[in-house]
Amino acid sequence: MKPRHKRFILIGLGLIALAVASMLVLNAFQSNLVFFFTPTQVANAEVPKGRGFRIGGMVENGSLTREGDGLTVHFVVTDLAKRVPVTFKGILPDLFKEGKGVVAQGQLGADGTFLASEVLAKHDENYMPPEAADALAKAKTAGAQSSRTLVVNPR
């Protein structure tokens, strides 16, 4: 083989490897994207069926209840326009509080309850996850807001 042919083979192999890798990557990427929806979008049935997604908003004041096992909790996520009941079994993150922002990942159950597999502790300095803040802002600009008791800061 001439060196030139060798180089062609090398380049060819490299391209094939690259193509395989990109396919793998894009495929995995496609199936692992998690989309984010606001409670309003959930209420309008804009969410995918049978696929996990994230919702975000504020934990409604006084909505948190705990079952006898001490682990299963129920709360309501709201963007102050629509409400979505959420069930989660596990230990809530430190920053979870009523009246504060929250993001949960999971699936929508048949009865309209969001079954969370994960409640996220990500936050910025104001303890409002950006997705949650965004959901609140969207609901507000949409003018769908029924009450104006926004942002109660118990601090």
Partner 1 sequence: MIPEIGHFALILALCVAVVQGSLPIYGAAVGSSTLMSVAKPAARGQFLLVLLAFCCLGYAFAAKDFSVLYVAATSNSQLPLHYRIAAIWGAHEGSLLLWVFILSIWMVAVSFFSTHLPEAMRARILGVMGLVSVGFLLFMLTVSNPFERLIPAAFDGRDLNPLLQDPGMVIHPPMLYMGYVGFSVAFSFAIAALLGGTLDAAWARWSRPWTTVAWCFLTVGVAMGSGWAYYELGWGGWWFWDPVENASFMPWLAGTALIHSLAVTDKRGGFKAWSVLLAILAFSLSLLGTFLVRSGVLTSVHAFATDPKRGLFILVFLAVVIGGSLVLYAWRAPRVGLGGGFSIISREGMLLANNVLLVAALGSVLLGTLYPLFLDALDLGKISVGPPYFDTVFVPLMTPAIFLMGIGPLAQWKKTSLPELATRLRWAFAVSIVTALALPFTLGHWTPLVSLGLLLAIWIVTTAAVDLRERLAHADGSSLLGRLAAMPRSYWGMVLAHCGVALFIVGVTMVKGFEVEQDLRMNVGQTATIGGYTFQFDGTQQYKGPNYIAARGTFRVSQDGRDVTVMYPEKRRYTVQNQTMTEAAISPGFARDLYVSLGEPLDDGAWSVRLYHKPFVDWIWGGCLIMALGGILAVSDRRYRLAWRHKEADVPAATQMARQTVS
In the complex, the smallest distance separating the C-beta of residue 17 from partner 1, rounded to whole angstroms, is: 6
Conformation bin of residue 41: beta by default, left when phi > 0, alpha when psi is -120 to 50: alpha
Task: Report the alpha-carbon distance of residue 112 to residue 119 in Å, rounded.
Answer: 18
In the bound state with partner 1, the residue whose beta carbon lies nearer, of 124 and 150, is 124
Do the Cβ atoms of 83 and 38 come closer than 8 Å?
Answer: no
Task: Report the alpha-carbon distance of residue 10 to residue 37 in Å, rounded.
Answer: 46
In the bound state with partner 1, the residue whose beta carbon lies nearer, of 31 and 147, is 31
In the complex, the smallest distance separating the C-beta of residue 139 from partner 1, rounded to whole angstroms, is: 15
Nearest to 81 by CA among 152, 143, 35: 143
Binding site for partner 1 (CB under 8 A): 3, 6, 9-10, 13-14, 17-18, 21, 24-25, 28-29, 32-36, 54, 66, 69-71, 89-92, 94-95, 105, 121-125, 130-131, 133-134, 155
In the complex, the smallest distance separating the C-beta of residue 100 from partner 1, rounded to whole angstroms, is: 11
